Copies of this chain bind each other. A is one copy, B any other.
Amino acid sequence: MSERDAERSVSQTVRAQLALRDMILSGRLRPGERISELQAVDITGVSRTPVRLALVRLEDEGLLQAIPSGGFMVKAFTERDILDSIELRGTLEGLAARFAAERGVNARSLEPLKECLGDIDQLVRQDPISVEAFSAYVTMNARFHALLNELSASAPLIREIDRVSALPFASPSAFVMAQSALPEAHQILLIGQDHHRIVVDAIENREGARAEAVMREHSRLAARNLRLAIRNRTHLELMPALALLKSSAE
């Protein structure tokens, strides 16, 4: 399918949503700035109706904030908001891991997870790790987390995790690329992979508390990465989500 066909196949609403999200995350629309519907029409090239739907969707995605008198503005986040969102994700993923462990999962469901574990092993075995490997890690890591969440077999929980992870700075892989520029990079990746291994082991042995605790701690690696990267001012361009930071030290 050609790119043009693909563009035609998605609805105007989705197209508008993607375009606006891109504008926001790239920082071309600054936090606090009001987005008028007509302005959004100019940006996206679609009419007001789908633009309106896209704005509503971006609002509950958390990127926009409704103005009481009508309309929307770009939401601003504090560093605390970001750290809290990461802790929030960790808590939810911890709950998912606990559910999986306590309720038990059959051996076959664990197979793809272990396979994924092996794939990541191969990546982190390199020293130093290439940028391509980092990029591959982001993909595999996302897959691992998705598989893990599914093991909870809890639709309401998965829904909330997906929602929280949709925030650009709260996803499991948000700051992995930024981390690639840090001297501690390799070590952090090895620790993260150890967490992965432990949580699978805990689930297999039906150790709910252990599974929960390690997933919580796992999310704090992302918090650590964020703090390191901000303090070192290294490669802030690898973390586009930071465009949403209020009073940013950018």
Contacts and interface: CB of A to CB of B under 8 A. Distances in A.
A81 B88 CA distance: 20
Copy tally for this chain in the complex stands at 2
A85 interface: yes
Nearest to A154: B84
A60 interface: yes
B95 A156 contact: no
Interface string A85-128: 10110011001000100000000000000000000000000000
A62 B157 contact: no
A53 interface: yes
A8 to B, nearest CB: 17
A15 interface: no
A228 interface: no
A52 interface: yes
Given A87-B95, A88-B95, A156 B81 contact: yes
Interface in A4-59: 49, 52-53, 56-57
19 contacts: A53-B53, A56-B56, A56-B57, A57-B60, A62-B156, A81-B154, A81-B155, A84-B154, A84-B155, A84-B156, A84-B157, A88-B95, A88-B156, A88-B160, A91-B91, A91-B95, A156-B167, A160-B160, A160-B163
